[in-house]
Amino acid sequence: MTDEARGFCLWFTGLSGAGKSTIAGIVASQLRERGRRVEVLDGDEVREHLSRGLGFSKEDRDTNIRRIGFVASLLARNGVVAITAAISPYRAVRDEVRGWMDDFVEVFVDTPIDLCEERDVKGLYARARAGDVPAFTGVSDPYEPPLQPEVTVRTEGRDPADSAGDVVAYLDRAGLLG
């Protein structure tokens, strides 16, 4: 496989409302402009179509992340840039999925929880704080940030395009874009 056709996984993780999907979408557009084949596996869409029926217990969350990881690994080994944007709160399962692929780039979208709450158009944080949403990541369920992500983007006070630029710059430096 040529470098230009080399697939890899770009795994965005962070709290709900951190900006994962927004930044992932910008990165996907930039990579497509460079002629790369790209698929985005968004956490909300995967839950709707691939993981329907799963709840939010630790076991169900782990199953959801493994499903996303499995699809991402299939795409990557076939020359596609698989971009995932899912909370993926537990470090051990993210690390497990990393082990399935040769090229796995973890992107930690590091956003303070108060800013995530401000961005929350669905009102999930308020509902979680009121006790109406049990086991909500960052409120009543843990989020385990990555210990050594390849890329950390801090979104507070930054334009999403700048954060996406940081990710693409890393991919260039790492030689993943050919």
- For 33-64, what is each residue's pLDDT tens digit? 999 999 999 988 887 877 777 878 889 899 99
109 beta partners: 153
Q: What phi and psi, each to the nearest 5 degrees, are found at residue 104?
A: -125, 120
Cα separation, 86 vs 9, whole angstroms: 13
Cα separation, 126 vs 145, whole angstroms: 22
Q: How far is CA 154 from CA 50, 64, 142, in A?
A: 30, 26, 20
163 a catalytic residue: no
Cα separation, 114 vs 120, whole angstroms: 10
- pLDDT > 70 in the chain, percent: 98
Domains of the chain: 3-112+145-173 (3.40.50.300)
User: Does residue 17 come out as left (phi exceeding 0), alpha (psi in the -120 to 50 range) or beta?
Assistant: left
- pLDDT > 90 in the chain, percent: 81
pLDDT computed for residue 16 by the predictor: 95
List pLDDT tens digits, range 95-113.
999 999 999 999 999 999 9
Cα separation, 19 vs 29, whole angstroms: 16
Please count the helices (runs of H) and the strands (runs of E) in the chain. 7, 5
Q: Is the pLDDT of residue 1 over 70?
A: no
Question: For the whole model, what pTM was predicted?
Answer: 0.93
Q: Check 16, 51, 73, 88 and give the catalytic one.
A: 88
